Each structure stands twice: as structure tokens, then as C-alpha cells.
Amino acid sequence: MTQTPPNDESRPTRTGMRLIVPLQGVVQGRGGILLGSLIPCALFYFLQFYLKRNRSPPPPNPPPSRSASSSDLPRSSSRPNLLSRGASMGRVQLSARANHVAKANESPYYIGLDRVREDAYDELTNPDGVIQLGLAENRLSLDLIEERLSKNLADLMSGAGGHPGLRGIATYQPFDGLLEFKMAMADFMTEAMGNEVSFDPLKMVLTSGGTPALEILSFCLADPGNAFLVPAPYYPGFDRDLKWRTGVELIPVHCRSCDNFALSITALEQAFNQARKRGQKVRGILISNPSNPVGNMLNPYDILDFARERNIHIISDEIFAGSTYGNEKFVSMAEIVDSEDAFKDRVHIVYGLSKDLCIPGFRVGVIYSFNENVLKASKKLTRFSSVSTPTQQILAPMLSDKRFIQEYINTNRQRIRSMYDLVVSGLKELGLECTESSGGLYCWVDMSKLISPYNEKGELDLWDKLLNTAKINVTPGSACHCIEPGWFRFCFTTLRVNEVPLVMERIRKVVEICKPSV
């Protein structure tokens, strides 16, 4: 039952002729019998070799694995050397997309996160460890919610406080979320986004975090090979979330420091037209607003007009909407889409509780769409990424408490602002300027004067020094597809106030090393 290898008719025939003709001559001449047996054998082996090379791996009857007699179970650990057990010829293959994913961690974004995991700074137990400034996580405001949520958990389990108890949370529930939880999320989103628009629970599909929300939308709005336009620099995770399993492409639309990294509609148009010339179908534009890594607010009207004229979708990732602290006002896509507007079918918002509510571990994300068909498809797809029911039950009462949430949002904003000011002024003292951010959990720092040469390599050298010498993990602009070298994202909401001087001290050492000589 061998697999028939792909047949390339012409080459063996040509090659065959080149052998047969002289073969005939040889056979008719001296040494005919010897050569007449050797050459067909050679030809046979040549053909075997050619066919084996062109056959798609793996061969259906592989030679027996060298590890066949091994008596140890290769299960005691996941040490890398276990991969080499057994003959590589006999090893079973993974899919091409799996192999692609297996290589994924080459980005400094992920390498940095791994380094922190291995050698995390701790004031007492590991004071020389790597300080985390590469993860947009908010640790500033957990104290505001922890008492409330841990009490909710206890009540839930014991059935106190009117909770349904185990039976109410354990059984199968709609995968796209409990209605009461959607209502609570709608309340929270309304509050977080400044009370300018009322969110409709029926336009929501809950997912296990913002990551699957983005992926599900990508699956729904584009086919493999299609593309989304994305203003760059952008969040490194987009390359994973929108592309990995969907086969969809991202086309960066570069923003520049001279514009304060604002999105230029001209650049958008150029990118769209170039894609069209290449024969690449653009299905939508993906924006993050407030933007990551820069912390800008986008003008949703411009985006809407652009998308409308080209009849493409808009995915607006508004996951930092409640974490705004600057002078610019945040305007959600939901605010400007009129319910009567036929174009609303193209507007889809991604949200979640990982950033604004400081609870990334609970895995709560939202797809909010004005398109019924997208909602229908997403509802079915979210079964692969569903929110845990007890988590919903614990959060719902708190999210619906308007007064509590209002206070929380305001206090959280103030704390982010204070930390932002502290970090930005500290960096300024070191001679490092930041863009003026209005939202997000990070600042966007210009270290271009410290890099040499003025290109990606120079930038990565600096990143390496910061990571391995200064022991701070920051994200280099190249990991965010920034076209100008030397920019870095510093997340500051994972810091305690008393850690800021230490961070500045460590950076100063590197600045001293890298400062261009006068």
C-alpha cells in the first residue's frame, strides 16, 4: 500500500535516454555483460534516490526506530534532548503550521518574557533578577477589587448571598456567556468608556480573553491569504492572534515620530493600493485604540470613512479603553456608529477585563459586533475559547455595581497617571524622551540616540544590553514592526513606586555605556 509519489514524467525519460543510448553502445561493445548488469543496477538506484527525494515526507514504511528497544518511558520530563530519542527518520511528523508555531519565540518580545519567567526580580529573594517592563499588565489597582471578588467566590461556593450554588454554575451554559454576565459587562464597558454610549448585551460574545476574540474575528472576516491593514508600531501578539492558525496576513501601515505616531490616512490609502496591486485582498483594518505600544488615541471617524469607502471591516481593539489618563478623550467605535447606519455591519470591537480590571488570569474577553452574522458565527466558534461559568458568576455582581465601578475606574486612572508621570520624568532625567501618551499601561521611549548603528541591529544590541546588563525587560520597537529604529515600549504598571528609582539606576548604567561621545 505505498503512496504513489508525485510523477514527473519528463525528467526520468530524458535521464533514461541519456543512460540507455550509451548503455546500448556499451552492451554491444566490450565488457557488455558486466556493464550491462552494472548500469541497470545503477539506474535502478538512481531512480530510487530521485523518487525518494521527491516523495512528500514521511515515507509510509519507515525503517524501524532505533529506540525500539528502549525500556524507559520518554515521559519523565519535557527535556529537549528527549526529542532526539529515536531515529529521526522514524519520528512522526507534526503539521506544517505546528512546526511554524514551534519556532515562534524568536521575537524579542517573547524572549524577554521568558527571561523574566526564569529570573524574575524579587526585592527580597532575587534582587538581581530581571525587572519586568515588557508585559502590559496592571498591578496597581488589585487592592480595590480583591476583597470584593474573594468574598464573591466564597459566597458562590457555599451558595450564600443568593448565589445558585454548584448546580447553577456547573452545568452546560451558553458558550457565548450567561446573559446576566453580558448585562454586567455591558454596564462595565459603558462606565469604562466614559458613559458616552450604551452597550447592548445582545451584541456580545464572551471569549476566554482578548486573544481568542481577535482570532475568532480574524477567522470570520477573512480567508487564508487575505490581509488586514494594521497601523504600526503594533502589539507583537497580533502576529500570533490574527495570523497563526488563520493564514491571514497583516500589512503594517507605518506611523512616524514626526506625526507623533499618529495614523496618516494617506499612508493607509497607499498601503491599501499597494496591496491591491500585489493582488492581495484587504478584508479590513485592525486598530488598537488606545494604541499599543504608543498610547495614542485614534480618530475613529477617519477610520470609519476610510473603511466605508473601500467596503472593508474594522476591528477596533479597545482593551485599554478604561486605562486612559491623558488629555485626549477616548472615543469608541461604538459611539460613532449609528444604529441606522448600514455600514455598522463592518464594525467589530474587541474588549476584555485583562487590562482595565487587572485580572488577566480570569480569561474574560468580548467580541462586540453590530453584524448579526458575525455574532452568529462567533457564538459557535467561542465554544473553543469559552469563559468559565464560576468566573462569570463571581464577577457579575461587582461589574453591575455602578458606583463601585465608577470609583474604581477613576482611582485606577489616577494611579496609572501618577506612575506614568513618575516614570516619564525619571527617564527624562536620563535624557530619554517619551511620546505624549493618553492611555495604556506603558510609555513609548525614544532611545534612538543611544543606538549604533542607527538600525534594527543597533536597536537589538541596546535591547540586549538592557535585558542582560541592566536586567530590565523592555520591548524593542522592531518587535512591534516600528519603522524607525531606537524606540522602546516600557510598561510601568507592573512596578511598585519604590522600584522606580532602582529601574532608573539600572537604565542609567546602560545609558552611560551607550551615550555617543561628545
Partner 1 sequence: MAIKPLTQPSSASSAAISLSKIAVSNTHGEDSPYFAGWKAYDENPYDESSNPSGVIQMGLAENQVSFDLLEKYLEKNSSDPTSSGRVSSFRENALFQDYHGLLSFRKAMASFMEQIRGGRAKFDPERIVITAGATAANELLTFILADPGDALLVPTPYYPGFDRDLRWRTGVHIVPIHCDSSNAFEITPSALDSAYSDAESRGLRVRGVLITNPSNPLGATVKRAVLEHVLDFGALKNIHLVSDEIYSGSAFSDREFVSIAEVLEARGGRGSERCHIVYSLSKDLGLPGFRVGTIYSYNDAVVTTARRMSSFTLISSQTQQLLATMLSDEEFTAGYIETNRERLRRRYRMIVDELGRAGIECLKGNAGLFCWMNLSPFLKDETVEEELALWECILREVKLNISPGVSCHCAEPGWFRVCFANMSEQTLQVALARIHDFVERRRGNQ
Residues of this chain, 398-427, that bind partner 1 according to CB under 8 A: none
d(CA 145, CA 151): 10
Question: How far apart are CB 262 and partner 1 at their closest, in Å?
Answer: 11
- Residue from the set 131, 359, 367, 396 that interacts with partner 1 by CB under 8 A: 359
Query: With contacts defined by CB under 8 A, how many residues of the chain interact with partner 1?
Result: 120
Sheet holding 442-446, edge to edge: 433-434, 442-446, 487-491, 475-476
Q: Is 146 in the site for partner 1 (CB under 8 A)?
A: yes
How does DSSP assign 349-402, residue by residue? EEEESTTTTS-GGG--EEEEES-HHHHHHHHHHGGGSPPPHHHHHHHHHHHT-H
Question: How far apart are CB 457 and partner 1 at their closest, in Å?
Answer: 27
User: Coil, strand, or helix at residue 323?
Assistant: coil
Catalytic site residue from 349, 355, 356, 367:
355
Q: Is 180 in the site for partner 1 (CB under 8 A)?
A: no
Q: Report 277-296 residues binding partner 1 (CB under 8 A).
A: 283
Catalytic site residue from 131, 287, 319, 359:
319
Whether residue 366 contacts residue 189, with contact meaning beta carbons closer than 8 Å, is answered with: yes
Element of type H or E holding 142: helix 142-158
Cell digits of residue 243? 495570523
Question: How far apart are CB 28 and partner 1 at their closest, in Å?
Answer: 44
- Select 196 or 429, whichever has its Cβ closest to partner 1: 196
Q: Is 334 in the site for partner 1 (CB under 8 A)?
A: no
Cell digits of residue 54? 521527491
Q: Report 220-279 residues binding partner 1 (CB under 8 A).
A: 220-224, 226, 240-241, 244-245
- Catalytic annotation present for 319: yes
- Catalytic annotation present for 344: no
Q: Is 164 in the site for partner 1 (CB under 8 A)?
A: no
- Residue from the set 200, 345, 433, 436 that interacts with partner 1 by CB under 8 A: 345
Burial label for 57, CB within 10 Å (0-12, 13-18, 19+), is exposed
- Select 146 or 505, whichever has its Cβ closest to partner 1: 146
Between vectors from CA 105 to CA 101 and to CA 110, what angle results, nearest 5°?
A: 130
Q: Is 5 in the site for partner 1 (CB under 8 A)?
A: no
Question: How far apart are CB 482 and partner 1 at their closest, in Å?
Answer: 23
Cell digits of residue 480? 512591534
Strand partners, 227: 249, 282
Q: Is 383 in the site for partner 1 (CB under 8 A)?
A: yes
Question: How far apart are CB 4 and partner 1 at their closest, in Å?
Answer: 9
- Catalytic annotation present for 355: yes
d(CA 240, CA 350): 16
Question: How far apart are CB 371 and partner 1 at their closest, in Å?
Answer: 8
Q: Is 388 in the site for partner 1 (CB under 8 A)?
A: yes
Q: Report 78-97 residues binding partner 1 (CB under 8 A).
A: 78-80, 82-83, 85-86, 90-97
Which range in 20-28, 62-70, 195-203, 501-509 contacts partner 1 by CB under 8 A? 62-70
- Catalytic annotation present for 325: no
Encode 106-128: b = buried (16+ Cβ within 10 Å), e = exposed: ebbbbbbbebbeeeebeeeeeee
d(CA 47, CA 38): 14
Whether residue 330 contacts residue 290, with contact meaning beta carbons closer than 8 Å, is answered with: yes
Which range in 182-190, 373-381, 396-404, 416-424 contacts partner 1 by CB under 8 A? 373-381
- Residue from the set 22, 31, 58, 501 that interacts with partner 1 by CB under 8 A: 58
- Residue from the set 181, 188, 219, 490 that interacts with partner 1 by CB under 8 A: 219
d(CA 254, CA 334): 25
Whether residue 250 contacts residue 242, with contact meaning beta carbons closer than 8 Å, is answered with: yes
Q: Is 363 in the site for partner 1 (CB under 8 A)?
A: yes
Instruction: List active site positions.
Output: 235, 317, 319, 355
